[in-house]
Copies of this chain bind each other. A is one copy, B any other.
Amino acid sequence: MEKPYVVGIDIGAQTAKYGIVDARGNVLAQSVIVSNSQPTAEEFINDLCNGIRKLAGNEYPLDQIRGIGVGAPNGNYYTGTIENAANLTWAKNGTVEFVKMMESQLGVPVALTNDANAAAVGEMTYGAARGMKNFIIITLGTGVGSGIVINGDVVYGHDGFAGELGHTCRVRNNGRICGCGKTGCLETYASATGVARTARELLELTDRKSILRTLPAENITSKDVFDAAIEGDELAKDIFTFTGRILGEAFADFVAFSSPEAIILFGGLTKAGDLIYKPIVEAMNLNLLPIWKGKIKVLFSTLKESDAAILGAGALGWEL
């Protein structure tokens, strides 16, 4: 009999969430450990494997688990390693043989990729991209990630690192400084932190009235900008319009590359809804070649946010 379960693990900068998933995409059980306090990879993986064993218990024994899918920053599908992941204490410097170490502890096949690629697989298996063979997922969180699917397969590229669309250049000269060392990256404008940067810039460089002026500038978050926009604050609304325009212009270039059926948006900034959606679609269509104008779908993820990361990583487990 086919083994009926997979485990999905989403490793973030603070926590690692993991859950047991069935073939229909139900998260049957889930739990979480911290991911930023273990000094070594051995200790983190020990904690994680203990957690999985406990969660599996008698109800979902390990010999009923078909595979384990892991989404992690800098996770490499080809090599099964996590390399120089700046936000993970135990993988900051050098290379962690993540897949090898987990497999030897649990005796279950493990597949690893980065978080955005995992989200793409999740979206294709359970979400807005079901039935699609060509789409791009853009994750709008603290940073901007991307997962690209062509002919039904995630694009990993020559070395396993494809799909860094958050680090394509959107502003060539005098662009914002990015954590990656470059300037003008999409991520510096279109992430949650990018929205906050735009707010601080606009407040400083203009005299426009705004509710946001009641907050200390250095503490403003994308959530504050959203709340202000919902209350009708014109400056806050313009911030989302600006963010959406930068995204839409970028999407037009992405379409020229792989001609996807849809671009799917995922992550915290999507809560802005029409505030960001309308300028995205408008700017994208304005910049598309005539053959594509009005034909490329822009969709919000349909996965429940609390489950999405586990589902996405877990979906990778079915491919093992």
Contact = CB atoms under 8 A, between A and B. Distances in A.
Given A158-B259, A257-B254, A289 B167 contact: yes
A216 interface: no
Contacts of A252: 169
Interface string A157-174: 111111111011111100
Specify how many copies of this chain sit in the oligomer. Answer: 2
A172 to B, nearest CB: 7
B180 A158 contact: no
A260 interface: yes
A263 to B, nearest CB: 11
A256 B181 contact: no
A158 B182 contact: no
Interface residues of A, number: 42
A131 to B, nearest CB: 12
A279 to B, nearest CB: 15
A134 interface: yes
A180 B291 CA distance: 10
A204 interface: no
Contacts of A305: none
A169 to B, nearest CB: 6
A33 B162 CA distance: 42
A107 interface: no
A156 interface: yes
User: Which of A134, A148, A165, A261: most chain B CB closer than 10 A?
Assistant: A134
Interface string A243-269: 000000100111011111100000000
A162 B291 contact: no
A231 interface: no
A12 B282 CA distance: 35
Given A155-B258, A159-B291, A167-B289, 5 more contacts: A133-B158, A156-B259, A168-B253, A172-B172, A257-B257
